[in-house]
Amino acid sequence: MEQLLTDIVCFSHLRWNFVYQRPQHLLSRFAQHSRVFFIEEPIFHEGIDKIELNTTQKNLWIVTPFLQSSSLVCLVERQKKLLKVLFYQQSIKNYIFWYYTPLALDISNLFRPRLVVYDCMDELSAFKFAPVELKQKEKELFAKVDIVFTGGPSIFEAKKKIHKAVYCFPSSIDKAHFNQARQDCQDPSDQSLIPYPRIGFYGVVDERFDTELLRAVAQQRPQWHFVIIGPIVKIDPDSLPTEANIHYLGSKKYEELPRYLAGWNIATCLFALNESTRYISPTKTPEYLAGGKPVISTPIKDVVDMYGKNGLVNIAETPEEFIECAQKELTNTDKQIWLQQVDTFLQDNSWDNTWASMAALVRHRLRIKKEPIFQNNESHKAILQPTDSPAAIT
């Protein structure tokens, strides 16, 4: 694989250690060929402004800004100052900017990257507690960006006319990882005592999660047990259904997911139908399938179009439809033909392939772009100089 020979500086609204998903899959692969700096949103603390560097693999640094909580003034300028120190001390001179959040424009607008990439994995402006300025910032980002990637067909359709270089890359899978769920796996201790049949979900439990559908099915089928794995964010935990056959097991590591999945009879995409789910393309759908589990999903457009219409996933909107699909799957003892169809459909679906295609587009754009690597002006020189009172980088 041809080297990019450029650093990648990524600005993300997600923390690296939150849930292992699209950004981690892609950037960990880029780190095999280039240095990657993953810039997280700041954390407020009692100490001085500083940046903390951590690494999980060669060439990959997780960059966490810490801002003094006693002073909430000049937050943007203080973050810019920390970034200037980072660029100077790490000799970041030849670089690409890779955005997951348009809000990072404010702290990065004085830099001069060789290329700007926007990996638009979600319609963030539709999420709960989204800042009001997010839509405007995305417009500004589209005016600067060289390449736009989208996380699924629905969001591609929404963005394709805004920019001349928009490419659809639905989230992919690590088949070898999730194929482990097809083998005999030791049931995790916190799942082992849950009776069968088990219907499972893993992912973030937030405003996109269909609590009412879960509540209704659990009440109507008390002999079925529902395993819910993942962090609860942006919603009151007390608002979740508390039926005795619903088991909330909390967050699990990515490495642990196949063991939990192996112990389920059915996997689900329990998404509510609202503005926050209008453009989503859930990564868990192909992961469940790679694990060999039948899937019941609410009618999320990308799931319906890619998997439902191909007969690979059951689609259910109401409790009655969900129960009908689950009963069919629980009584189906011969899934070999379906599994063959699943494996054929997923044959070329991999994060390696998705990353390779993205990297090829990035390299091509770098070759044809005519602008010089650096602009020889005083503003860029200032970026590469230490500040008067450099912040600590640990």
pLDDT at 56: 87
Find the mean pLDDT for residues 204-233: 97
* Domain endpoint, select from 345, 364, 381: 345
More confidently predicted of 56 and 205: 205
pTM of the full predicted structure? 0.89
Is residue 48's pLDDT more than 50?
Answer: yes
Does residue 198 sit in the same domain as residue 270? Answer: yes
Residues 6+ apart with CB under 8 A from 189: none
pLDDT at 179: 97
Handedness of CA 243, 249, 254, 260 (dihedral sign): negative
Q: How far is CA 258 from CA 136, 187, 216, 292, 293, in A?
A: 40, 10, 27, 10, 11
Does residue 81 sit in the same domain as residue 108? Answer: yes
Inter-residue contact 67 to 46 (CB < 8 Å): no
Does residue 288 sit in the same domain as residue 309? Answer: yes
Does residue 218 sit in the same domain as residue 233? Answer: yes
Find the mean pLDDT for residues 336-355: 96
The answer to whether residue 1 is domain-embedded is: no
pLDDT tens readout for residues 232-290 = 999 999 999 999 999 999 999 999 999 999 999 999 999 999 988 999 999 999 999 99
What mean pLDDT value characterizes the chain? 91
Give 3's pLDDT tier (boundaries 50, 70, 90).
low
Q: E strands, 121-254, where?
A: 147-150, 166-168, 198-202, 225-229, 246-250
pLDDT at 380: 38
For 106, the token pair is 């404010």
The answer to whether residue 275 is domain-embedded is: yes
Task: Report which of 371, 373, 314, 307 is spatially closest to residue 342, judged by C-alpha positions.
Answer: 307
Does residue 306 sit in the same domain as residue 362? Answer: no
Partners of 227 in the beta sheet? Answer: 200, 247
Does residue 182 sit in the same domain as residue 201? Answer: yes
Does residue 382 sit in the same domain as residue 317? Answer: no
Does residue 221 sit in the same domain as residue 327? Answer: yes
Instruction: Write out the H or E segment, with its range, that includes residue 107.
Output: helix 105-108
Q: What's the longest Cα–Cα distance across the chain?
A: 71
Residues 6+ apart with CB under 8 A from 367: none
pLDDT at 290: 98
pLDDT tens readout for residues 91-104 = 999 999 999 999 99
Does residue 162 sit in the same domain as residue 187? Answer: no
pLDDT tens readout for residues 104-123 = 999 999 899 999 999 999 88
Distance CA 166, CA 203 (A): 27
CATH of the domain at 294: 3.40.50.2000
pLDDT at 141: 96
Is residue 34's pLDDT more than 50?
Answer: yes
The answer to whether residue 2 is domain-embedded is: no
Does residue 224 sit in the same domain as residue 276? Answer: yes
pLDDT at 370: 61
pLDDT at 132: 77
**Total of domains in the chain:** 2
Give 376's pLDDT tier (boundaries 50, 70, 90).
very low
The answer to whether residue 57 is domain-embedded is: yes
3-state secondary structure (DSSP) of residue 96: strand
Is residue 42's pLDDT more than 50?
Answer: yes
pLDDT at 386: 31
* Domain endpoint, select from 326, 345, 364: 345
pLDDT at 369: 82
Does residue 42 sit in the same domain as residue 115? Answer: yes
Find the mean pLDDT for residues 341-354: 96
Does residue 39 sit in the same domain as residue 182? Answer: no
In this structure, the dihedral spanned by the alpha carbons of residues 43, 45, 51 and 56, taken in order and rounded to 10 degrees, is: -60
Beta strand pairing status for 198-202 and 225-229?
parallel
Structural domain boundaries enclosing 241? 175-345
pLDDT at 129: 66
Burial code (b: 16+ CB inside 10 Å, e: under 16) for 287-307 equals bbbbbbbbbbbbebbbbeebb
Q: E strands, 251-336, where?
A: 266-269, 295-297, 314-315
Inter-residue contact 103 to 76 (CB < 8 Å): no
Q: Name the least confident of 34-38, 147-151, 301-305, 367-371.
A: 367-371
Distance CA 103, CA 144 (A): 13
